[in-house]
Structure 1
């Protein structure tokens, strides 16, 4: 389950922007909030390796509350096949406070089948695991606050694609790798 569209949009942003995800891994490695500093640095290295940031980037538009993508079309296909459920949460059906997204048994079964039949899709599992580890239990608003700390993200005008930060993050990673090597591990 993913609680709230804002959280879903924030997770999607990191999934589609490996440079921003790598930068948050580095931030967590530096401030000590990473579950495992060595793992965070290793994942950041993978995310920034070669042309990975360019190949995996799928830009999102900046909207009122940050990175945003219309979900209706993508989710409609999953809903129509009974793979997911989307539930409104609120006082009344008219006053929706948030939307919650559930992967149903049929969706889990199909995902398992795809893992067997299309092993190249393992990339999504790996990336989603990193995104969820970085996000932890934080709310969509908390994740958006983190993303807004990036000047490129924050300064993007409404309805424009949020630009990448690959080179800046590569420099930061290089410094951290050098510090780690200099410290003997």
Structure 2
């Protein structure tokens, strides 16, 4: 994966399915994604079991942020990932991250033994539907278009938008209202 910024922005959508579902609905409304792609993803992300996968992030100067060094150091020290310093832009060098063969094997083993791991595969697939997932700066701009995200105070937790996103999904006939 190219760049720490991209890693951080995609991590936000991975951990905050309500925001990702809302972005997919925007793609649907603007006719860039078909209902056959969006409806199942939105139903999975906003359904009764979705809240268990929500992991909040704090709002800092450039948006959602959590230091990745601790998580990456565990993966790097066990030979699962590595990173390389990429293009130096002058003020901050880009860092690129690579999954190594041992990491790929570990992922395969997790998929085979941990039933909940499939959720993350589906999240990654849904993120890939967003054209803005290609560049971290584009994803950042898109995330700041969400009023709750933009309005979160520095150092505070970015609030959930599950209820707003569910109501939107229901109004777009992408999911049924709960009984």
TM value normalised by structure 1: 0.87
Root-mean-square deviation over aligned CA pairs:
2.1
Q: State how many pairs are aligned.
A: 176
**CA-CA distance at 1:56 after TM superposition:** 1.2
Which of structure 1's runs of 4+ aligned residues deviate more than 3 A?
none
Q: Give me the TM-score of the superposition, normalised by structure 2.
A: 0.90
1:169 equivalent in structure 2: 165
Matching residue of 1:102: 98
> Structure 2: where are the runs of 5+ without partners?
none
| Shift of residue 107, structure 1, vs aligned partner | 0.5
CA drift at 1:133 = 2.4
Aligned pairs (5 A) from 1:1-185:
2-34=1-33, 36-52=34-50, 54-91=51-88, 96-135=92-131, 138-177=134-173
Tell me, what secondary structure is at the counterpart of 2:129?
helix
Measured after TM superposition, the shift of residue 37 of structure 1 is: 3.0
Residues 47 and 91 (structure 1), Cα distance of their counterparts in 2 relative to 1, 3 Å cut: closer
- Using the TM superposition, give the Cα deviation of residue 117 of structure 1 relative to its aligned residue in structure 2, in angstroms: 2.5
- 1:5 and 1:14 map into 2 onto residues whose CA distance is 15
Runs of 5+ consecutive residues of structure 1 not aligned to the other structure: none
Q: Following the alignment from structure 1 to structure 2, what is the Cα–Cα distance between the partners of residues 110 and 103?
A: 10
Determine if contact 1:11/1:132 at 8 Å carries over to the other structure: no
Contact 1:22 1:48 in 2 (8 A): yes
Match of 2:138, SS state, is helix
